[in-house]
Amino acid sequence: MDPHTQQLILDAASEHGRENLVVVLGTPSPEAAAIAAATVTTGDPTYAGPLAETQLGLSVYHILEDCVRQAIDPKLYDEHVGLMAEVLDRGALVAAVEQARSAKG
């Protein structure tokens, strides 16, 4: 997650309150999902951006998780996510994000 995006998330958390934000990731690799999820929960593990050592504890999910899919109009989900859902390793992506959620406490 680039520093600009980290700053936008930090600003949104300050303006709207951490409890009012949910982060939905769409990254295609489990490694990138793990880093992005950790960044918005326990802080940027690369220490490269504004969220380094900032524990926002935000709720974070991957777009391929069932709870996210169920919250989105099926037509829109298929149009925007459908192909990705068919080719990516859903289990590994979900596991990476779940691990970050469990680490936040």
> Percent of the chain at pLDDT above 70?
98
Distance of CA 34 to the CA centre of its chain: 8
The pTM assigned to this predicted structure is 0.91
As for how many domains the chain has, the answer is 1
User: How much is the average pLDDT of 43-59?
Assistant: 94
CA 13 to chain centre: 14
**CB-based contact 8:46 (threshold 8 Å):** no
If pLDDT is split at 50, 70 and 90, which confidence band does 103 have? confident
| Maximum CA extent, the chain | 39
Q: Where are the beta strands (DSSP E) in 37-96?
A: 59-62
What does the block give as tokens for 74? Answer: 């099926």
Range of the domain at 30: 3-104
